[in-house]
Amino acid sequence: MMFLLMAQKMNRGFSKLRQFLILAARVLAVLALVFVISRPLAGGWLGLTGGAPDTVLVLLDRSASMEQQNLTTGISKRASALTKMSEGIEDMFGSRTKVVLIDSASNAPIEIANVKALTDVPVTSGTDTGADLPAMLQAALDYITANQLGRTDIWIASDLRQADWNATSGRWEALRAAFGKLEAVRFHLLAYPQSSPDNLSVQVENFVRRETAEKAELMFDIRLRRESASAGDQNVTLSFVVNGARSSLAAQIKETELLIQGHTIPIDKSTKKGWGRVELPADSNLSDNIWHLVFDQPVAPLSVIVSDDPETAGPTKAALSVSPEPGRKQEARVLPSSSANEIEWDKTALIVWQSPMPVEGDVLAKQLTQHVQEGRSVLFMPPLAGGGAEQKFMGVSFGAWKPLERKKEQTSDVEWWRATDGLLANARSGQPLPVGELQVSRYCPITGDSTPLARLADGEPLLAQATDGTAGLVAFLGTTPGSSGSSLARDGVVWYAVLQRALAEGAKSLGNAQQREAGAKALAPDVVWKPMEDGVTAVVQSLRAGVLTAGDRSVALNRPLREDVTSILSDDSLKELFNGLQFHRVDDSVDSGRDLANEIWRTFLLLMALAIILEAVLCLPRKQTVKPEQREVMA
């Protein structure tokens, strides 16, 4: 009897468990049906948001490289990102969240009333500018702080170009620390790292008008670039347009770069000024297929050396007085520190400053800042007494003098330098500058937000460039060319190249014909500029490449040179930039047809079907087992 009672209890327990399972399956089927009717959305990184945030900040990269497009559809990376983000925000949040746009061209926050119109507003159109991701994130941080926002999602659309992200900038550490204190901020990156190996870009590195007794001509040094040489030899036809007249040149690129030096186009001797451009055939990115030019009567560029040290002033003046172009004049002057206020600012292309930096807010500091904002160049060197934290320009300063100490296994005082672009780039022939042969006996550490162009054997920067987005070149050399500092003056080649390149950059903004990078501050706001070429109009002139005129002045706007450098930020570097922050990344491409937010009701429909099947299986009666003797009785 005890055995029968226990068996009966076990039977009731199994029966009760089965009833619970049947009930759970039926409830699951009903819930799945409810989800099917509500048509839920998920997918990608939008599915991780967990509800509507108070504010969504959209950081849009509008740089020239984002105009790479699918040749079949004509859709660019920028347009694809805009479409997917606007549709994703609308599907996920509707009107429950506020959307604010920060674009790379202006870095100004703009509230978007209707997210559906995100693809149509002018501030999301393509530009020929560069991008500064640290500056965009700083603008986002300032907006969050000023408006005391609650939960905020920051969505970034970018092609991950190293030059745009500037991972070595000191601003990233400050940004991580500031965002780390805001627990309600999360980052989502929509990345377009895909490249186009066959895409070609064109740059005009040197352009002059030359005239002799017999003829006049324009001379071009042209550089073609592509990302990969895997496609083999590639034939290309370059088109030249000068004051409306067109000519062409056949070329063949075999490696990743092709330098065409000294190509000349004859012009009439009476043609003293004008405009032109160099064009490539259409490919996957139209923004890097054209380089614009203007020319006028040449102006002899002036360099000013502010120094009290003859070992610095003498070699520097000698290097700046000799033009690399035969027949072209340039002038160099030396001023003592006490006479720095005598600089002829409107004629000076380059200032070499070896003196204590002017105090911020002083007249001299404001004049130096204006000099840079107008596109001119400044090269700072440590003063004889060394630097100090209180002496800085654009956030960069020199430390105290210290001897260079290198390890026994190191054979060079200079450990690394950037040879692809900048002041220490390879020569036109492709040969590297002999930077590794320099000897450095002492230096002053360069501190502040700057991009290193060369590093010493102990890892400290030897040459750096300011990264605050100003129009002109601001460079910092951690030593001096004299024997007490380095062998720059004795060796000569590197010092001459650095000075001439800095002078050439500053000279672009002198005279009536100027070359500038497209950007929000490229043109003076109080001047009315008109396109020089007939039939050409521009919505936002300073953001698009082209040739413009105002009175006797003309200007050629082009994309920044760094936009043609195709290096992509590595995964490890990206993770390090957002280390400690809530960050998620999704890679996309212009060829992808998937949405960031997708309907997943079919998944719940399948789940409902499975629940119904499970409930049916549990409801089946238990199979009765008939023993042989029972079959005989039944028979």
The rounded distance, in Å, linking the Cα atoms of 203 and 277 is 10
Banded model confidence at residue 43, pLDDT cuts 50, 70, 90: very low
The rounded distance, in Å, linking the Cα atoms of 500 and 467 is 21
What is the DSSP pairing of strand 461-466 with strand 473-477?
antiparallel
CA angle 406, 411, 413 (to 5 degrees): 55
Partners of 217 in beta bridges: 210, 266
Residue 557 lies in a domain: yes
3-state secondary structure of 191: strand
User: Are 270 and 327 contained in the same domain?
Assistant: no
The rounded distance, in Å, linking the Cα atoms of 554 and 512 is 6
211 to 427, 450, 569: CA distances (angstroms): 26, 41, 46
Residue 605 lies in a domain: no
The rounded distance, in Å, linking the Cα atoms of 619 and 609 is 15
Banded model confidence at residue 55, pLDDT cuts 50, 70, 90: very high
**CB–CB of 588/78 below 8 Å?**
no
Residue 541 lies in a domain: yes
Answer whether residue 323 shows pLDDT above 80.
yes
Task: Give me the phi and psi of 321, to 5 degrees please.
Answer: -90, -15
For 281, residues 6+ apart whose C-beta sits below 8 A from its C-beta are 236, 237, 289
Burial 464-478 (b: 16+ CB within 10 A, else e): bbbbbebbbbbbbbb
Residue 619 lies in a domain: no
Looking at residue 542, the DSSP 8-state letter turns out to be G
**CB–CB of 356/391 below 8 Å?**
yes
Residue 7 lies in a domain: no
- DSSP per position, 499-530: HHHHHHHHHTTSSSEEEEE-STTSS-TTS--E
pLDDT of the residue at 51 = 60
- Find the domain containing 449 and state its range: 303-507
* pLDDT tens by residue, 56-69: 999 999 999 999 99
User: Are 331 and 386 contained in the same domain?
Assistant: yes
Percent of the chain with pLDDT over 70: 89
Find the mean pLDDT for residues 157-167: 92
Residue with tokens 């030593």: 479
- The amino acid occupying position 325 is E
The rounded distance, in Å, linking the Cα atoms of 204 and 214 is 26
CATH code at 173? Answer: 3.40.50.410
Find the mean pLDDT for residues 527-554: 80
The rounded distance, in Å, linking the Cα atoms of 87 and 334 is 61
Residue 620 lies in a domain: no
- Of 507, 524, 551, the position where a domain reaches its end is 507
**CB–CB of 320/303 below 8 Å?**
yes
pLDDT of the residue at 13 = 60
* pLDDT tens by residue, 491-516: 899 999 999 999 988 988 888 898 88
Average pLDDT, the chain: 85
Structure tokens at 495: 């010092």
User: Are 534 and 422 contained in the same domain?
Assistant: no
Answer whether residue 356 shows pLDDT above 70.
yes
For 62, residues 6+ apart whose C-beta sits below 8 A from its C-beta are 78, 103, 104, 105, 124, 125, 126, 127, 129, 131
Banded model confidence at residue 230, pLDDT cuts 50, 70, 90: confident
User: Are 378 and 499 contained in the same domain?
Assistant: yes
User: Are 577 and 536 contained in the same domain?
Assistant: no
Residue with tokens 């003309």: 554
pLDDT of the residue at 599 = 46
3-state secondary structure of 608: helix
CATH code at 349? Answer: 3.40.50.880
Answer whether residue 394 shows pLDDT above 60.
yes
User: Are 382 and 529 contained in the same domain?
Assistant: no
Find the mean pLDDT for residues 458-483: 87
- Whether this model's pTM surpasses 0.95: no
For the chain, the straight-line distance linking the first and the last C-alpha, in angstroms and rounded, comes to 31
Partners of 237 in beta bridges: 250
How many folded domains does the chain comprise?
3
Maximum C-alpha span of the chain: 131
User: Are 133 and 258 contained in the same domain?
Assistant: no
For 613, residues 6+ apart whose C-beta sits below 8 A from its C-beta are none
- Of 507, 529, 547, the position where a domain reaches its end is 507
User: Are 268 and 142 contained in the same domain?
Assistant: no
pLDDT of the residue at 468 = 64
Answer whether residue 146 shows pLDDT above 90.
yes
The rounded distance, in Å, linking the Cα atoms of 539 and 554 is 18
Residue 147 lies in a domain: yes
Banded model confidence at residue 566, pLDDT cuts 50, 70, 90: confident
pLDDT of the residue at 38 = 53
Residue with the larger pLDDT of the pair 237 and 3: 237
What are the strands, taking DSSP E only, across 280-330? 290-295, 302-307
621 to 15, 128, 460: CA distances (angstroms): 11, 74, 81
Percent helix, strand and coil across the chain, each to the nearest 5:
30, 30, 40
Three-state SS for 584-624 is EEEECCCCCCCCCCEECHHHHHHHHHHHHHHHHHHHCCCCC
The rounded distance, in Å, linking the Cα atoms of 23 and 29 is 10
CATH code at 541? Answer: 2.60.40.10
User: Are 292 and 355 contained in the same domain?
Assistant: no
Lowest mean pLDDT among 208-217, 289-298, 334-343, 590-599: 590-599
Residue 261 lies in a domain: yes
Least Cα distance to 482 among 317, 314, 335 occurs for 314
Least Cα distance to 135 among 173, 96, 175, 162 occurs for 175
Residue with tokens 């590639």: 234
Structure tokens at 620: 């089946």
